[in-house]
A and B are shown apart, each in its own frame.
Chain A
Amino acid sequence: MGALTESVGIAWQWLWSGDARLWQIVGRSLAVSASACALACLIGLPLGAWLGVARFRGRAVVVIGINTLMAVPSVVVGLVVYLLLSRSGPLGFLGWLFSFPAMVLAQTLLVLPLVVGLARQVVQEVEQRHGEQLRALGAGVGTRAVWLAWDERVALLMVVIAAFARAVAEVGAVMIVGGNIEGHTRVMTTAIALETSKGDLPLALGLGLVLLVVVLGLHALVALLRQASQRWAGPSAAWERLA
Chain B
Amino acid sequence: MSARRGSRGGGGWRGWRALGLLWALAAIMVTARAQTLVVASTTSLEQSGFWAYLMPRVRQATGLELKVVALGTGQALDLARRGDADVVVAHDPEAEARFMAEGWGLRRHEVMVSDFVLVGPRDDPAGARGGDILGALRRVAAAGEARFVSRGDQSGTHWAEQRLWALAGVSPPAGARYRACGCGMGQALNIAAGLGAYTLSDRATWLSFRQPGALAVLVEGDARLRNPYSVIVVHPARHPHVQAVAGQRFVDWLRGPDGQAAIATFRLQGQSVFRPLAGQ
Contact = CB atoms under 8 A, between A and B. Distances in A.
A1 B189 CA distance: 21
B83 A92 contact: yes
Given A88-B83, A92-B83, A201 B211 contact: yes
Contacts of A201: 210-211
Interface in A125-148: 142-143, 145-147
Contacts, number: 76
Contact of B68 (A99, A182, A197): A182
B209 A198 contact: yes
Given A87-B82, A145-B1, A199 B209 contact: yes
Interface residues of B, number: 35
Nearest to B213: A199
B26 interface: yes
B67 interface: yes
A7 interface: no
Contacts of A146: 1, 3
Contacts of A86: 82-84
Interface in A174-195: 179-184, 194
Interface string B171-188: 000000000000110110
Contacts of B210: 198-201
Contacts of B3: 146-147, 150
A2 B86 CA distance: 44
A88 B186 CA distance: 30
Contact of A197 (B5, B83, B187, B193): B187
Contacts of B46: 194
Nearest to B189: A199
A87 B241 CA distance: 9
Given A86-B82, A88-B83, A181-B67, A198 B186 contact: yes
Contact of B183 (A147, A181, A194, A197): A197
Given A86-B84, A87-B239, A197-B186, A31 B26 contact: yes
Interface string B1-41: 10101000000000000000001001100100000101000
A98 interface: yes
A182 B190 CA distance: 22
B69 interface: yes
A143 B38 CA distance: 49
A200 B48 CA distance: 12
Given A86-B82, A88-B82, A199-B189, A179 B67 contact: yes
A196 interface: yes
Contacts of A150: 3, 5
A197 B190 contact: yes
B264 interface: no
A234 B190 CA distance: 55
B186 A199 contact: yes
A35 interface: yes
B70 A180 contact: yes
A88 B52 CA distance: 29
A242 B55 CA distance: 67
A209 B87 CA distance: 36
Contacts of A182: 51-52, 55, 68
A197 B48 CA distance: 11
Contacts of B38: 98
Contacts of A200: 210-211
Interface string B77-88: 000001110000
Contacts of A207: none
A171 interface: no
A103 B10 CA distance: 33
Interface of B: 1, 3, 5, 23, 26-27, 30, 36, 38, 46-47, 51-52, 55, 67-70, 82-84, 183-184, 186-187, 189-190, 193, 208-212, 239, 241
29 contacts: A31-B23, A35-B23, A46-B1, A86-B82, A97-B84, A98-B67, A98-B84, A100-B30, A143-B1, A150-B3, A150-B5, A179-B67, A179-B69, A179-B70, A180-B69, A180-B70, A181-B67, A182-B51, A182-B55, A194-B46, A194-B47, A194-B186, A197-B186, A197-B187, A198-B186, A198-B209, A198-B210, A200-B210, A201-B210
Given A197-B47, A198-B210, 11 more contacts: A88-B82, A88-B83, A99-B30, A179-B67, A182-B52, A183-B55, A194-B46, A196-B190, A198-B186, A199-B186, A199-B209
Interface of A: 31, 35, 46, 86-88, 92, 95, 97-100, 142-143, 145-147, 150, 179-184, 194, 196-201
Top 7 A-B pairs, shortest CB-CB distance: A87-B83, A197-B186, A199-B211, A179-B69, A199-B210, A88-B82, A197-B187
